[in-house]
């Protein structure tokens, strides 16, 4: 009888060991499946099954990448999805606890997260340096994958973007940009100043170009042409005493306009209280020269120069 108990106990032990081995193998299989699902190894771009965005109706992609954690770069987006990207933004982390981004996006790009949904908006193309950009792609990272939303023609707004996965919580965003095709504006140039002789005599303000009707100072203007000299004329004598020339230059890595006023008269003139306008004709019409955006205050001298960032010009 005792032998029978030993036999039965041995059978129970063997069964328990087999059961444990099966359970352990099952647990290992589950863990492996979870790990495989978490890493989501992608060998080629896959159009996601996630819902499209609200404004542009864009369905996201999942693409391969070097980062095993799912972070993707603008360079990888450009390579795998064959779209043009001219500027790569920084990866910006999202803090779920505070509901805010850890760092900032470029000025002019407004980004918000409502629950799991991301929206972005710009009033117009984004100025960066001497160029302007709109959004070409947005990388929305969550867990160990990223949804990549692409806009081959570029956009300035969209909504309803979200991260992939069963719990699509955003962990970081990366914006990729394409350059805006902005036509050159029809700018005009107007200059107003006083002409001072060495004898101390100050003549009335002088003007260039075409008079604007009904302007209280009879300020003139010319269509802005780079490298083209325009005459500066004494109002009451019609004498040409100087020229004004605008040139495109790069200063500290950004586009500027260099405006130079050079005396051409044989008389010993100097420039006093110069005021300069560059912008649209609509912005100039009816404006008093004292309200010009660029001036030399009471500076007197020759030559008179202005170095103006293109982004400061009134459009």
User: What is the per-residue pLDDT across 81-118, written as a single tens digit (0 to 9) for each?
Assistant: 999 999 999 999 999 999 999 999 999 999 999 999 99
Mean residue pLDDT of the chain comes to 83
The pTM of this model reads: 0.55
User: 143-172 pLDDT, tens per residue?
Assistant: 899 999 999 999 999 999 999 988 889 999
> Would you say residue 12 has pLDDT above 80?
no
Predicted local confidence at residue 218, as pLDDT: 56
The reply to whether omega before 197 is within 30° of 0 (cis) is no
Q: Are strands 87-95 and 157-161 parallel, antiparallel or unpaired?
A: unpaired
Ramachandran bin of 143, using left for φ above 0, alpha for ψ from -120 to 50, beta for the remaining angles: left
Residue 201's pLDDT is 79
Res 236 pLDDT > 60 = yes
Tokens representing residue 266 in the block: 């044989």
Are the beta carbons of 234 and 194 closer than 8 angstroms?
A: no
Which among 60-74, 176-190, 293-307 has the top mean pLDDT? Answer: 60-74
Q: What is the rounded average pLDDT of the residues 166-192?
A: 88
Give the pLDDT band of residue 302 (cuts 50, 70, 90): low
Q: Which H or E element spans position 87?
A: strand 87-95
Distance between CA 220 and CA 226 in Å, rounded? 18
Please give the Cα distance from 294 to 308 (Å, whole number).
8
- pLDDT value of residue 212: 61
Percent of the chain scored above 70 by pLDDT?
81
């Amino acid at each position: 009888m005792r032998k029978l108990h030993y036999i039965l106990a041995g059978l129970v032990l063997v069964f328990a060991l087999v059961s444990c081995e099966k359970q352990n193998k099952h647990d290992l299989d589950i863990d492996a499946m979870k790990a495989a699902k978490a890493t989501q190894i992608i060998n080629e771009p896959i159009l996601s099954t996630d819902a499209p965005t609200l404004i542009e109706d864009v369905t996201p992609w999942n693409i391969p990448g070097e980062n095993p954690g799912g972070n993707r770069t603008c360079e990888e987006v450009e390579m795998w999805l064959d779209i043009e990207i001219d500027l790569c933004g920084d990866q910006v982390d999202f803090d779920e606890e505070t509901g805010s981004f850890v760092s900032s996006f470029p000025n002019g790009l407004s980004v918000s997260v409502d629950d799991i949904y991301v929206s972005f908006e710009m009033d117009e193309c984004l100025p960066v340096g001497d160029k302007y950009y709109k959004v070409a792609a947005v990388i929305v990272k969550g867990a160990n994958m990223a949804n990549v939303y692409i806009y081959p023609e570029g956009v300035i707004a969209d909504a309803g973007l979200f991260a992939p996965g069963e719990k699509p919580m955003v962990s970081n965003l990366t914006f990729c940009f394409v350059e805006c095709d902005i036509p050159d504006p029809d700018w005009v140039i107007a200059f107003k100043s006083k002409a001072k002789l060495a004898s101390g005599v100050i003549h009335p303000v002088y003007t260039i170009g075409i008079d604007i009707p009904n302007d209280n100072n009879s300020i003139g203007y010319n269509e802005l042409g780079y490298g083209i000299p325009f005459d500066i004329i004494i109002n009451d004598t019609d004498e040409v005493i100087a020229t004004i020339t605008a040139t495109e230059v790069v200063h500290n890595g950004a586009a500027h306009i260099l405006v130079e006023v050079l005396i051409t008269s044989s008389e010993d003139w100097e420039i006093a209280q110069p005021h300069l306008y560059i912008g649209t004709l609509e912005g100039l019409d009816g404006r008093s020269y004292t309200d010009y955006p660029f001036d030399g205050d009471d500076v007197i001298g020759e030559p008179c120069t202005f170095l103006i960032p293109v982004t400061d010009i009134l459009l």
